[in-house]
Amino acid sequence: MAEHKEKTFSNYTLIAIDAALQAGEILRQGYGTQFSITQKVGIHNLVTEFDLLAEKSILSFISKYVPKSQFLAEESGASGETSEILWIIDPLDGTVNFAHQIPVFSVSIALEKKGELFCGVVYQPITHELFVAEKNKGAFLNGKELKVSNVSKLSDSMISLGFPYNLHENPHHCIEHFVDILRLGIPIRRLGSAAIDIAYTAAGRFDGFFEVGLSPWDCAAGILLIEEAGGKVTSWDNRPIHHRAKDPILCTNGKIHTMLSNVLMQNE
C-alpha cells in the first residue's frame, strides 16, 4: 500500500485511500474515451462500464486486505456476510458528468464500524484531490488539515445543492426550496457530485450544502469529513441524521446551520 503523510491514520483508512486511488486511476483513464452507458431507474440516472470496473477494483482490493468485510455499494448493493465492518462505496459519484465529459466526479469510500462512521475518503481523480477523514483524527486534503469556513451570515454564504432524479415529482417541495434560496440572492452551485459538494463544504469552499435525500454511498464519507473539519450535519429540520437514513440532508460550517435550516423549512 502507498505511503501517506497522515502517519497516525489506521490501516483501515490507508486501505480505503489506496482503494480510492486505484479506482480513481481507472476512471481517469476511461474519462473521455468511448464506453457503454445504460439507464437505471429515473431520468438521467446513468451507469457506465467504468462505474462497474471501478467498483470491482474497490471490492477486490478491500476484500484482499480486510477479508471479513461487508459491502454496501451503489452498483452491486449489499454483499458479504454479517460483519461489524461495513464499507459504503460509490465508485463513481457524478456519472452523468463523467458520461458527458465534464471533469467533476469522484470516488467515495466510507467505513462503518459497529454502526458508526470510522473513516471516509473522497477522491477527485481529474484534480488529484484526496479528501480523507478518520474519527477523532481530523479531516485532510492531500495531507493538509481541513477546517470549515468562518462565514457566519447567510447573506455572505456560498451554497451548493443537488436535485433528485425524480425532480419532476418535486419531493419535499425541493423546487420551492430552491426558489427560496435564490430569493436570498446568495451564490448557488450545483456540481453534480454530492460527495464533492460535501467535501468542498468541509474544505471551506462552500459554506453549506443541502439535498432532498442521498443514498449512503453518496454522503457517508462526506459526513465524516464535515464533522471532522468542525462542521455540522443534520436533517433539514436540524434533527440528528443517520448516514443511511436517506432523509433530506443539510451540511454546513455550523455557523449558518440554523439560519439555512429555517429557510429550508419554510415550505414544509
Rounded to a whole number, what is the distance in angstroms from the first to the last CA of the chain? 48
Amino acid 164: pLDDT: 65
Judge contact between 139 and 131, C-beta under 8 A: yes
User: What does pLDDT average to in each consecutive run of 10 residues of the chain (268 residues)?
Assistant: 60 98 95 70 62 93 93 74 83 92 97 94 98 97 97 96 70 72 88 96 97 90 98 94 86 97 81
The residue from 118, 145, 172 where one domain ends is: 145
Same domain, 128 and 178: no
Closest CA to 206 of 216, 219, 218, 191: 191
Residue 247, in any domain of the structure = yes
Residue 60, in any domain of the structure = yes
Residue 1, in any domain of the structure = no
Q: Write the CATH number for 41.
A: 3.30.540.10
Helix axes 257-264, 174-182, angle to 10 degrees: 130
Amino acid 175: pLDDT: 77
Residue 3, in any domain of the structure = no
The residue from 145, 167, 199 where one domain ends is: 145
Cα separation of 219 and 52, whole Å? 19
Same domain, 101 and 139: yes
Same domain, 170 and 112: no
The residue from 127, 145, 163 where one domain ends is: 145
Same domain, 195 and 124: no
Same domain, 81 and 159: no
Same domain, 46 and 99: yes
Amino acid 82: pLDDT: 55
Same domain, 140 and 36: yes
Same domain, 162 and 141: no
Cα separation of 236 and 200, whole Å? 19
Residue 74, in any domain of the structure = yes
* The total number of residues written for the chain in this structure: 268
Closest CA to 130 of 21, 26, 203: 21
Half-sphere exposure of 187 (CA within 13 A, CB side): 8
Same domain, 238 and 194: yes
Beta bridge partners of 194: none
Judge contact between 235 and 250, C-beta under 8 A: yes
Structurally, the chain folds into a number of domains equal to 2
Residue 195, in any domain of the structure = yes
Amino acid 74: pLDDT: 77
Helices (H) and strands (E) in the chain, counts: 7, 15
DSSP letter for each residue of 35-73: --EEE-SSTT-EEEHHHHHHHHHHHHHHHHHSTT-EEEE
Amino acid 78: pLDDT: 66
Residue 4, in any domain of the structure = no
Cα separation of 240 and 213, whole Å? 14
Amino acid 214: pLDDT: 85
Q: Write the CATH number for 193.
A: 3.40.190.80
Same domain, 31 and 127: yes
Same domain, 39 and 133: yes
Cα separation of 194 and 204, whole Å? 15
Sequence-distant (≥ 6) Cβ neighbours of residue 60 within 8 angstroms: none
Q: Containing domain of residue 216, as a range? A: 154-264
Residue 5, in any domain of the structure = no
Same domain, 63 and 141: yes
